[in-house]
Amino acid sequence: MALMGVVTAVSRNEEYTFTKPVRESITLLAGLGVEGDVHQGVTVKHRSRVAQDPTQPNLRQVHLMHAELFDELHDKGFSVAPGEIGENITTRGIDLLALPTGTLLHLGPEAVVEVTGLRNPCVQIDAFSKGLLKEVVAKGPDGELIRRAGIMSVVLTGGVVRPGDEIRVELPAEPHRPLAKV
């Protein structure tokens, strides 16, 4: 597994919309998430989770998506650009979905996020592009769901993140725990 990668785009949105506009930079705030993003906070901000229990910890402060998925989707006739399906940080060169829970991602010179789990995409993806949900959530050979719409994380150390920033992967101690939906 590649232990180095690069940030290709950063996005945030102050409003609840499916897409997030691409920005020149974003600022990560320790324990909170992306400054100025609607999902910033100590407790859950995703509407469906707030409805269940607004006191849950926010394990989805920063959403990372691998640009390689966009390449694959493009080959299948879908046009998806950074930020369009809600991620904050688009990456290249790291197999995000293969990382274990608790992996630390060093983003640029300062910021560090801890990987908490897999994004659980919802039907809004099909509203963005019909048939896309089927491409980012599939059934495995044993009938288990395979989620491919990126990973979620929390901010341990704040800092500014920009396209072109290096990403350094720091794996947790063994035994590794596979990612599960959060």
Domain assignment present for residue 118? The answer is: yes
Residue with tokens 């959530």: 137
Residue with tokens 């959060």: 182
Domain assignment present for residue 168? The answer is: no
pLDDT digit string (tens) for 11-61?
A: 999 988 889 999 999 999 999 999 999 989 888 777 677 677 778 888 999
Domain assignment present for residue 178? The answer is: no
Q: What is the pLDDT of residue 106?
A: 98
Number of domains the chain is built from: 1
Domain assignment present for residue 177? The answer is: no
Backbone φ, ψ for residue 74 (5° rounding): -60, -40
Domain assignment present for residue 176? The answer is: no
Domain extent, residue 152, equals 4-161
Q: What is the pLDDT of residue 171?
A: 97
Whole-model pTM: value is 0.94
Return the CATH number at 150.
2.40.33.20
Q: What is the pLDDT of residue 75?
A: 95
DSSP code string of the chain: --SEEEEEEEE--SS--SS--EES-EEEETTTEETT-TT-SSB--SHHHHHH-TTSB-S-SEEEEEHHHHHHHHHTT----TTTTS-SEEEESS-GGGPPTT-EEEETTTEEEEEEEE----THHHHHSTTHHHHHEEE-TTS-EEE-S-EEEEEEE-EEE-TT-EEEEEPPSSSPPPP-B-
Domain assignment present for residue 37? The answer is: yes
Domain assignment present for residue 167? The answer is: no
Domain assignment present for residue 95? The answer is: yes
Quick one: which of 67, 63, 73, 53 has its CA closest to 129?
73
